[in-house]
Structure 1
Amino acid sequence: MTPHHSPHSPVHERIIANPKFQRLARQRAILAWSLSALVLAIYYLFIVLVAFVPGWLHLPLYEGSHLSRGIPLGAAIIIFCWLLTAWYVRHANTRFDALSAEILEENHA
């Protein structure tokens, strides 16, 4: 037996050829790339604000405040990314894991 072939090769090939697996892989990739692009765009927009309108970020949050607009904006970006991550994990644990289990069940029967 060569290192590239294992006793599980036929099962592996059946799973790879399964249309449900291909749909799962495509859905996961689309979601992962979409969320990555969203997060990158948000961070990029924040950097654009820092570069081109830094004075706006330095303005007080409200009259008499010692807190600038940049602090809550930065915190909001971080919290948004945490929430997006939590949503992705929940989505993956429910939808993707269920489909993965279904695919494995079909190929072990």
Structure 2
Amino acid sequence: MNANPMLKGTLQTIILKLLEDNGRMYGYEITQKVKEVSAGEVMLTEGALYPALHKLEGEGLLQTTSEIVDGRARKYYSLTPQGGKAVTSKMEEARAFIEQLQNLLDLKPAIK
């Protein structure tokens, strides 16, 4: 992940949301999608991505399948039913946090 430490707390939410939107994805595909969507501003490293994927899998939120593609094994990640439910709660938590941060930093116009 790029040098912005604020992104570290949102990595699981980003992964879950990408998998909800795209179905199954493999690791490199996830890094490229994040790069594309952020116009190159967010770069996920393997050192950040794979521990997060393994943690989510260990928590029962992701499942994996493997396929041979061009003679190489490729591991795909997808949401479990529990992971699908987690996306909703993580997105609600993220929205609430962003709203409070905007209020605290006075980035949001006051309602009059």
Q: Shorter-chain TM-score category?
A: 0.3 to 0.5
| TM-score after normalising by structure 1 | 0.34
- Structure number with greater Rg is 1
Q: By percentage of residues, which structure has more helix?
A: 1
Larger RCO: 1 or 2 (CA < 8 Å, sep 6+): 1
Q: By percentage of residues, which structure has more strand?
A: 2
| TM-score after normalising by structure 2 | 0.33
